[in-house]
């Protein structure tokens, strides 16, 4: 036994020598399991078992294999491993953008849940582009991910690429933005009721001519917010004016542009409900530049509770979307699939209630 350990130590030293030689000759060959096996004079199968902590391999051999692997800068080939085992322990995540606090919070929380179960995530962003979204799906499928968790791009109308995921038997979980026609797991908020809450709040503040800068109605969540806005006006016996209902991509620049359009109206609104905090920030900038009193002349409400919403002046009334809960629930929905040998029949559909955070931009009673 003593001689065996001495021999293993010798082979480790030999591996160090090889490493130095590689560096000296600038050899960039990627180390394989076979290279480790050659150094230790054992079979590649034994190396593989040692790297996977197989109980049939002695502890001394495991230590030797790990040390040689480290010395030779061995990196596991996850793709090859996935092809062999059928499991990569990777989950793809597609978001419209990562610079949003909502999406970054979702990612953080779903990653925490998945990491505890031994999964890593690959993050891609569509930048609201359908083409980039399709490319991301192709890349993730090529990487042999075990599942995909996604929020759709604004441009997405054709669902064929998401159907492609389903056709391969790969679990698909949608959050925030998703389409009912896909019949997959979905985690989100009650967008329709959110608009009712916002409009009712503005009515309670004495507003009678309420405009809505929304997202594109082709996207389900924004369509639901538009429907909720229209129905809330009817409930409060307020007229629906087409000139007060505007679609946009909800960026800061679009918020500025649409707010300027509203201010050019002969009968301008006394309140503006914006379906995203970034666009609401742009609208807020324009109102301040034109010295319009907020909220007494025009009240303003955003959506998403981005960190800046409580820091700007006046602070921005906004909807809390529960990003942390959405992230955790999306991860759990995937794990419900992953823990079964076959795709589960019961789909997870969770619609969370929202909370309106009333701040200075709409609170006339405190002005």
Q: What is the mean pLDDT of the chain?
A: 87
Q: Which residue has the tokens 């700007």?
A: 312
Q: Say what percent of the chain tops pLDDT 70.
A: 87
pLDDT, one tens digit per residue, over 177-186 is 887 678 899 9
pLDDT, one tens digit per residue, over 267-287 is 999 999 999 999 999 999 999
- For residue 25, pLDDT over 80 is answered with no
Weakest-pLDDT range from 86-100, 201-215, 231-245: 86-100
pLDDT, one tens digit per residue, over 77-132 is 655 555 555 677 899 999 998 888 899 999 999 999 999 998 999 999 999 899 99
Domains defined along the chain, listed by start: 2-76 (no CATH), 88-189+323-353 (3.40.50.2300), 191-321+356-366 (3.40.50.2300)
User: What is the pTM (predicted TM-score) of this model?
Assistant: 0.76
Position 74 scores a pLDDT of: 83
Q: Mean pLDDT, to the nearest integer, of 207-215?
A: 97
User: What's the pLDDT band for 3 if we cut at 50, 70, 90?
Assistant: very low
Position 53 scores a pLDDT of: 80
Weakest-pLDDT range from 50-64, 78-92, 128-142, 156-170: 78-92
């Amino acid at each position: 036994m003593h001689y065996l350990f001495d021999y293993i130590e010798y082979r480790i030293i030999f591996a160090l020598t090889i490493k130095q030689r590689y560096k000296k000759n600038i050899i960039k060959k990627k180390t394989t399991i076979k290279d480790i096996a050659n150094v230790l004079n054992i079979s590649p199968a034994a190396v593989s078992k040692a790297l996977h902590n197989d109980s049939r391999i002695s502890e001394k051999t495991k230590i030797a294999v790990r040390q040689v692997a480290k010395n030779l800068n061995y990196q596991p080939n996850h793709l090859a491993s996935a092809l062999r085992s059928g499991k990569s322990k990777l989950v793809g995540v597609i978001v419209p953008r990562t610079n949003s606090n909502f999406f970054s919070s979702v990612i953080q929380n779903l990653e925490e849940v998945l990491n505890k179960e031994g999964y890593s995530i690959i993050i891609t962003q569509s930048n609201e582009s359908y083409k980039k979204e399709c490319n991301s799906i192709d890349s993730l499928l090529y990487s042999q991910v075990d599942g995909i968790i996604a929020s759709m791009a604004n441009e997405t109308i054709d669902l064929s690429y998401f159907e492609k995921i389903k056709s391969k038997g790969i679990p698909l979980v949608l959050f925030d933005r998703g389409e009912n026609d896909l019949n997959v797991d979905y985690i989100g908020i009650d967008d329709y009721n959110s608009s009712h809450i916002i409009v009712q709040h503005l009515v309670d503040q004495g507003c009678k001519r309420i405009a809505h800068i929304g997202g594109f109605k082709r996207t389900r969540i924004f369509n639901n917010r538009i429907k909720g806005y229209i129905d809330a006006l009817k409930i409060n016996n307020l007229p629906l004016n087409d000139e007060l209902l505007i679609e946009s991509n909800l960026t800061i620049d679009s918020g500025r542009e649409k707010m300027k359009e509203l201010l050019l109206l002969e009968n301008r609104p006394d309140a503006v409900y914006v379906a995203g905090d970034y666009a609401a920030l742009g609208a807020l900038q324009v109102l301040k530049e034109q010295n319009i009193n907020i909220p007494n002349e025009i009240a303003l409400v955003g959506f998403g509770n981005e960190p800046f919403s409580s820091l700007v002046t006046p602070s921005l009334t906004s909807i809390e979307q529960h990003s942390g809960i959405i992230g955790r629930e999306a991860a759990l929905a995937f794990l419900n699939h992953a823990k079964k040998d076959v795709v589960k029949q019961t789909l997870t559909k969770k619609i969370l209630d929202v909370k309106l955070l009333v701040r200075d931009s709409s609170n006339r009673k405190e002005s």
